[in-house]
Amino acid sequence: MKKRYLMTPGPTTVPSEVLLAQAKPMIHHRTPDFNQVVRDCADGLKEVFCAPNSDVCIFASSGTGAMESAIANCFCPGDKVIVCYNGKFGQRMVQISKAYGLEPIVLEYGWQVCVNPDDVAKALEENPDARGVVVTQSETSSGILNDVEAVGKIVKNYPDCVFIVDSITGIGAVECKTDEWGIDCCMTGSQKGLMLPPGLAACTVSEKAWKAYERSTLPKFYFDWKKYKANLAKDTTPFTPAVSLMIGLAESLKLMKEEGMENIIARHAKLAEAVRQACEAIGLELFAPAEGRGNAVTPVWVPEGLDGKQLVSIMKNKYGVTIAGGQEDYAGKIIRIGHLGYVGDFDVIVCIAALEMTLKEMGYEFEAGSGIKAAEAVLMEG
Ligand SMILES: Cc1ncc(COP(=O)(O)O)c(C=O)c1O
């Protein structure tokens, strides 16, 4: 028997209350019992998104489905959309925009550079006919936290331009005030801060986004937002929903309400700080820039001469701790430690211990226990 720990930025660990809720016998979705589940999910998600004035759509899809829905529902072929990216997932929005025949104006940053809101302001001045701005709030591949609040203030001045935010690993880990910050479509996925298995995605739709929807001529069927709105008004879904996942979602939203959004974010901030301090104490260099580090995942450079893939593999196979490796150009060069969702102080301690033991085994020289000591110091504060 090997006890397993999942320390990746998604899928994340599912609390036993949620697992048990999902294990209940199947129910039919066109019943009053399930109507209540739909209502609880929609109300709870609005709170989690801080979006009391927006509508919410819940899809039986992974997060990418919600991303695709944002493009398909807001635009017409040939529309100009400003897409900012500093990692793999922001780049995906460029790909989706192209797939739908839009004209993306791409603001490409390196994977270690935050989106500069001034660049968005300039791009909008140069392209006042742009119909959308897209930013990834928490870029999971690079660990960057982009300042979507600042970008929202700029986009608010353009009445025909919607602000679309991928907060798939942001929601439940960092502050995201969807309505207040002028985010017209904010999205998340179930296997992240919502503490569920993969398979559900959700997005918000503001009044401004509905205006864009009315103008949009792009083809849409499964992800047609209006179908979800019309059905939600009757506490139901347009198609067969992922019944068990939604029952689980109602439960996880209940747990989140009990903890409170502010406390959830504070917990994530502390865990992230503990991991950062621990890695630095071991002598590892953090990958994301100091001015934009998120709370969901900490990417760290693998010391010179060591193989990051081997490091991930030893941690998993020998110590039972699964972390994520680097993606694309950074495969084998960075590791990514997830601290998202149902994570507590001692998950971080276990993970840092396994990291230290693995690094020792791989011949990296540092003071054993220095990471643990640094993590403990952060976790004992306040
Ligand atoms: C920031 C971000 N955007 C988009 C996605 C894509 O979501 P999915 O893999 O659920 O389709 C992910 C998944 O890791 C993500 O972290």
Per CATH, the number for 260-380 is: 3.90.1150.10
**CA pair distance 208, 65, nearest whole angstrom:** 21
Determine if ligand 1 sits within 6 Å of the CB of residue 64: yes
Give the pairing type, strands 162-166 and 297-301: unpaired
**CA pair distance 150, 125, nearest whole angstrom:** 16
Coil, strand or helix: which one is 26? coil
Domain borders along the chain are 16-258, 260-380
Partners of 55 in beta bridges: 205
**CA pair distance 222, 226, nearest whole angstrom:** 10
CA 380 to centroid of ligand 1, rounded, Å = 32
Whether 16-258 shares its CATH topology with 260-380 is answered: no
Atom in ligand 1 nearest the alpha carbon of residue 87: 1
DSSP 294-354: -SSEEEEEPPTT--HHHHHHHHHHTT-EE-EE--GGGTTTEEEEE--SS--HHHHHHHHHH
Determine if ligand 1 sits within 6 Å of the CB of residue 251: no
User: What does pTM read for this prediction?
Assistant: 0.98
Atom in ligand 1 nearest the alpha carbon of residue 92: 4
Cβ pair 148, 176 in contact under 8 A = yes
At the top level of CATH, the class of 16-258 is alpha beta
pLDDT in tens, the chain (382 residues): 889 999 999 999 999 999 999 999 999 999 999 999 999 999 999 999 999 999 999 999 999 999 999 999 999 999 999 999 999 999 999 999 999 999 999 999 999 999 999 999 999 999 999 999 999 999 999 999 999 999 999 999 999 999 999 999 999 999 999 999 999 999 999 999 999 999 999 999 999 999 999 999 999 999 999 999 999 999 999 999 999 999 999 999 999 999 999 999 999 999 999 999 999 999 999 999 999 999 999 999 999 999 999 999 999 999 999 999 999 999 999 999 999 999 999 999 999 999 999 999 999 999 999 999 999 999 999 7
**What letter represents residue 189's amino acid?**
G
**CA pair distance 272, 293, nearest whole angstrom:** 9
**CA pair distance 286, 299, nearest whole angstrom:** 6
